[in-house]
Amino acid sequence: MLRNTSSSWGRLSRWFHWGLGLVIIGMLAFGWWMNHIPARADRFFYRSIHADIGYLVLFLMVLRLIWRGLNPTPALPSDTPRWQRFAASISHWSLYAVTMVVAMLGWAHSGARTPDYSSFFGLFRVPQITSPDKAAAAAWEDRHILFAYVLLALIVIHVGAALWHHFVKGDRVTSRMVDGAPG
């Protein structure tokens, strides 16, 4: 089933979850690697690829949020305490918000540096949201990196909660994101 129900995640929601999750983790690892390799001639190429995928992540996150707004969110098990429901909601919305912030800060960094990373895989130019400014580029990049670490921490919390649901609590909260079967 493509759409969510009140008890299960639909195919498209699961695709967004796993596809974006893997790409975002890959982007965090790739970003860390890029910032720890010695300066070399092809560094711009790697940063440009990182920016291109970042633009794609931003676009897919917007689509994901639209899809989430148009579909019901499967309910947690009825025995889930209120504080856990609240924590789950805060955790999910924080993941969405910080992912968007990281992507937007990367986009701001792109426009502030010269040359920018506006060429989207050589297909077209992405309009930039900032103007060239070396000091601003450094500030945007610092914020981009800081929020990438915040995002990584949120991902660790999310994975930890999923593992807790699966192995400790033994409910279907985690499994239904894998197989789409009702929880």
- Write the pLDDT tens digit of every residue in 107-163: 999 999 999 999 999 999 999 999 999 999 999 999 999 999 999 999 999 999 999
For the beta carbon of residue 40, count every other beta carbon within 10 angstroms: 9
pLDDT of residue 40: 84
Please report the pLDDT score of residue 149 as a whole number.
98
Q: What is the pLDDT of residue 96?
A: 98
Q: pLDDT tens digits for 39-66?
A: 888 889 999 999 999 999 999 999 999 9
pLDDT score of 38: 85
Confidence of residue 182 (pLDDT cuts 50, 70, 90): confident
Over residues 60-109, the pLDDT tens digits come to 999 999 999 999 999 999 999 999 999 999 999 999 999 999 999 999 99
Contact (CB, 8 A) for 111 and 59: no
Would you say residue 169 has pLDDT above 80? yes
Q: Give CA–CA dist 154/21, Å, rounded.
A: 12
pLDDT of residue 178: 93
* CB-CB neighbours of 171 under 10 Å: 16
- What class does CATH assign to 11-179? mainly alpha
pTM higher than the cut 0.85? yes
Q: How confident is the model at residue 37 (pLDDT cuts 50, 70, 90)?
A: confident
End-to-end CA separation in angstroms for the chain: 15
On whether the CB atoms of residues 21 and 159 are closer than 8 A, the answer is no
Provide the pLDDT for residue 39.
82
d(CA 135, CA 78): 52
DSSP per-residue codes, 59-115: HHHHHHHHHHHHSPPPPPPTT--HHHHHHHHHHHHHHHHHHHHHHHHHHHHHHHSSS
